[in-house]
Chains A and B, each alone.
Chain A
Amino acid sequence: MKARTRDLLGSVLMLAFVAVLWVQRDYMTPFGGIFPDIVMEIMAGILVVTLILSVTPYAAMKEAGEKKEEGGKTNWKDMTVVGGILLAWAVLLQYLGFALTGIVGFGSISWYLGGMPRDVKDIGRCVLIGVAIVVLMIVVFQHLLEVPLPPGRIFD
């Protein structure tokens, strides 16, 4: 991504964030809003400046002097899959409980990242390791440290 686009996109997104908070302002006390308001105003001011700078020749100058980023293509597909699994894991955590989601989550990620060959032996191994890790976590956290791990709504 070119430096100019980065600056422009960054400024726009941050401004959007400030806007999202700005419209939610609804203060009860006379002093509840002093601090956030000041911060939002200053931040918006700076962002407008960076926004303008990012579309002016100044940005082009900066871009010329910038180093090229480290090589290596970004594997978006793998990232999305792993990210998706993690997200599903987090969402299902409260419904299926730690044990189940842990085994499935760990197993599926380690299987997916394992590359070729992907056969039944591979799945078996990943599930086994997943089970081992999950059991270890449960013993350490739930029983040793008394930090309760979610049992899951369906098991309650």
Chain B
Amino acid sequence: MPYVEQGETTLLEHLWLGLQNVVMVHNLLLIVAGTVSGMIMGALPGLTATMAVALLVPFTYAMNPASGLALLGAIYMGCVYGGAFSAILINTPGTPSSIGTTFDGYPMARQGRGEEAIVGATVGSAIGGIFGVIALIFLAPPLADIALRFGPAEYFWVGVFGLTIISSLSAGSFLKGVVGAMFGILVSTIGIAPIGGDVRFTFGSPAMQGGVDLIVILIGMFCIPEVLTIVSKGIGGHTAVEYKRTKGVLWETTKKVLVQRANLLRSCIIGTFIGILPGAGGNIANLVAYNEARRASKTPEKFGTGHLEGVVATETANNAVVGGGIIPLVTLGIPGAPPDAVIYGVLMMQGLRPGPELFAERADITYTFMLALGVSALVMVPIGIYGGRLLTRFVAKLPVRYLVPGIGILTIIGSYAIRNNFTDVILMLGFGVVGYALRILGFQAAPIVLGLILGPIMETGLVQAYLTGQGYSWPWLALFINPISWILIGMSILSFAWPYFGSLKQMFQKPEGLGSGNGE
């Protein structure tokens, strides 16, 4: 690969130049403004990072390229972090990258530990964001090379690996989790097939040809059942989330987070790596990190009940995705995640072609951009903690009679704003009711959403691999050719069978007094 080899001195020189740029007052102001706007938009359910970045592109026309990119980068970083707020406070992921944060974040809020959750999410996000940027600055070319080796078959197996997370997500019946995931996969097939363009399962209505949008289901299945539950459990001044004023929460929690070194490092790596895979979308990073944190933990049963480690894992991973996704963008010109596609468009319009050229000739812009991302991650901390504290108190003190319609209006705007589509709003509510009913029947929302996200990834990879294999004796052979496929298959089997290892171990161990049945 004809990359410009970066000598040590040149890299540092570039960094220094970039640093000088970044700390210029107007750039710093832009970064702060961008981070705050991003956080707010991330917290609003329905506004995704992609939309947030796309919405603010026109503002960047008047600016010089470096400042414009710094602004967009800050928005992106802030947006991914902002999703944690609504995930924790109203059980609705503000962005799909915060789905996993609801698992432990919301229970923590209900127990009055909302501030703790927010601090955990903030510190985790900052660390993850910075890690992603460091990977971007120092490891971009080799990581991009690895990303290239992932072809259709590999994406299919990544999807399969993602499905093995179900065991972590289904509190209760594993089979119901599997069925839920398959339900999600089938819903994802509604509309136009990603490969081939078949019109599928549209119930005869052209409006359904657009398929069911992920955000619509996210809002519907996470938020509405919660709202209905709040309403049904009693009215009149009761609040949904508790707030117990505890002194020193900030430092206590920060210490608790920084102690979780393994969790932090692992989640950072997972986030960055999934970020570099174009098309994996980055939305699954938080779920994979959650799953891995749970598996590695000595107390896996605590996950899902309000365990700080869960929140830290998900938020660290999703912010690491930001830096990771930019790696293929600047090295190869391939967006790693959808917001990167918007940034790519902006780069093109500014006449900057992504690729080695960006690193070499326009290094000033590139490094300013990358450092701006890092600064944004730092800026998030004071704003997030202070703002988060205020927000938690506000939501906690807000009586149900205003909270419910408030959430109602946000969900309606959110589901409309995604595609400017009225059907989406009705679908959102419909799935809300369905979600509530399914919850009573024992089907959790998380596996369903997982299936929804992974369905297209798996199908695209599967069919593309099948088509590629037309030249082989057996078309499906294409799925097993690449060594990376074998690694992924192995990882999937391991991840799937892991819970059973626990019981296997128990079977072979000599029982020294009866345990409390700690296995899965």
Contact = CB atoms under 8 A, between A and B. Distances in A.
A72 B236 CA distance: 15
B441 A13 contact: yes
Contacts of B201: 21, 24, 36
A35 B185 CA distance: 10
Report which residue of A25, A33, A145 has the largest number of chain B beta carbons within 10 angstroms of its beta carbon.
A145
B232 A76 contact: yes
A4 to B, nearest CB: 11
B402 A75 contact: no
Contacts of B182: 39, 42-43, 46
Nearest to B402: A110
B186 A148 contact: no
A119 interface: no
A39 B429 contact: no
Contact of B441 (A6, A93, A114): A6
A14 B196 contact: no
Contact of A10 (B422, B429, B443): B443
Interface residues on A, range: 35 or more
Given A35-B459, A72-B234, A40 B186 contact: yes
Secondary structure at the B interface, as helix, strand, loop or mixed, is helix
A114 B231 contact: no
B462 A146 contact: no
Contacts of B458: 35
Contacts of B183: 14, 17, 43
Interface in B251-283: none
B175 A46 contact: yes
A105 B408 contact: yes
Contact of A75 (B198, B234, B420): B234
A93 B179 contact: no
B491 interface: no
B200 A34 contact: no
* Shortest 8 CB-CB contacts between residues of A and residues of B: A32-B198, A113-B401, A109-B405, A10-B441, A29-B196, A115-B236, A43-B182, A35-B459
19 contacts: A6-B440, A24-B201, A28-B198, A29-B193, A35-B463, A39-B186, A72-B233, A74-B232, A89-B408, A93-B412, A93-B422, A102-B409, A109-B401, A109-B408, A110-B402, A113-B405, A115-B237, A130-B405, A145-B55
Interface of A: 1, 6-7, 9-10, 13-14, 17-18, 21, 24-29, 31-36, 39-40, 42-43, 46-47, 49-50, 72, 74-76, 78-79, 82-83, 86-87, 89-91, 93-94, 98, 102, 105-107, 109-111, 113-115, 129-130, 133-134, 137, 141, 145-150
